Amino acid sequence: MNNFSYHRPQNLNDALALLTSDVRPLGGGTDLLGMLKDGLLAPAALVDVQELSELHGITESDAGLRIGAATPIADVLAWPGLWKNHSLLAMACQVVGFPEIRTMGTIGGNLCQRPRCVYFRHPLATRCLKRGGDLCYPTEGRADGLFAVFGDSPCRAVHPSDIAPALVALHATLQIAAPGGERTVSADQFFSAADLSRENILRPDELLVSIEAPRPATGTRGTYLKSKRRPSHDFSRAAVALSAVVQDGVVTQIDLVLGSVALVPWRLGAVEQLLAGKRLNATLVREAADLAARDARPVATTGPSNGSKIALVRGLVFKALSGLMA
């Protein structure tokens, strides 16, 4: 770990004034400190956000929740009524890491965490595209399990967040503080890999302040399914966030977003269209699951492939949609 300096500003303006491309905001540190220890980043300074009141706490109105970006995930989970009114968000938060990670880690940090790609994270894999190099290693090496099956980025890493696909499915918005003022973007817009160096639109001099998650309409059913390589905890092999309203067996509203299949959360627009307005039955669910996997492509590699992830996408979507019929 390089020897950076440490700042703990007392207000948002002071914090913004400190942020440059050579400075990183520090929340729970569960991701950032690992990257520093592995020598993947060597910032001149860290800006600790723990005393910025705008980034902390939860408020709820009929419209929905406002969650400060530096709020620990455990605090989100402890919010009264979360499971009743925001079950999809609750389910996604519940499967993030393990209790201590949820206590230390913040919701904003979860959204802004970097890919867990084993090459990106390897101190010696310096040719990695995301680290400014010229090679996406899995295309010449091992592409098993954890790599992308959607998207056209030359980088085949995936976004590891559980909360991100849920927020995309929920049409959440994110408030960003920038030197020139504040801006609000949809979760869909937020996660767009503008260039290889990042997985969201946040610029180095900006700070994610809060997340607004609208309260789903009464009768909305939320499901978050995460497949892991061992039962207890893991970054997901793939995950599916589903928010839907089914009335008298007919799908009247549906949002279906995959996690850990692309560099950003991956909305299955074609499947949503297929299902909207249709009466659910086993054949339709099977058709929808097949459609979900239709455009998935394994990493083109000379080594072991991640082809089974396509079957996993199909299986998870099938499972989630089958749940709507129960």
Instruction: Give the 3-state secondary structure of residue 184.
Output: strand
**177/30 Cα distance (integer angstroms):** 22
Q: Which residue has the tokens 């989970």?
A: 77
Min dist. Cβ of residue 205 to another protein (A): 21
Q: Pick from 21, 50, 184, 273 the residue near another protein by CB under 8 A.
A: 50
Q: Does 5 bind another protein (CB under 8 A)?
A: yes
Please state the closest distance from residue 125 (CB atom) to another protein, in A.
Answer: 7
**Rounded (5°) CA angle 89-91-92:** 65
Contact call for residues 175 and 55 (beta carbons, < 8 A): no
The DSSP line for 158-181 is ----SHHHHHHHTT-EEEEEETTE
User: Is 48 among the residues that bind another protein (CB under 8 A)?
Assistant: yes
**Minimal distance, residue 158 CB to another protein, in Å:** 13
Q: Is 219 helix (H, G, I), strand (E, B) or coil?
A: coil
Between 153 and 306, CB nearer to another protein:
306
Q: Applying CB under 8 A, does 312 fall inside the site for another protein?
A: yes
Number of C-alpha atoms within 13 angstroms, CB side, residue 267?
16
Q: How far is the CB of 178 from another protein (least distance, A)?
A: 25
Which ranges of the chain does DSSP label H, i.e. alpha helix? 12-18, 32-37, 73-77, 82-85, 87-94, 99-104, 107-112, 163-169, 187-190, 269-275, 282-294, 308-325
120: contact with another protein by CB under 8 A: no
Residues 97-116 that bind another protein (CB under 8 A): 97-101, 103-104, 116
Does residue 315 belong to the site contacting another protein (CB under 8 A)? yes
Give the residue, chosen from 70, 96, 125, 246, that forms a contact with another protein under the rule CB under 8 A. 125
**Binding segment for another protein among 58-66, 106-114, 190-198, 299-307 (CB under 8 A)?**
299-307
Residues that bind another protein (CB under 8 A): 1-6, 8, 26, 29-30, 33-34, 36-37, 46, 48, 50, 74, 97-101, 103-104, 116, 118-119, 122-125, 137, 141-142, 144-145, 227-235, 237, 303, 306-309, 311-312, 314-316, 318-319
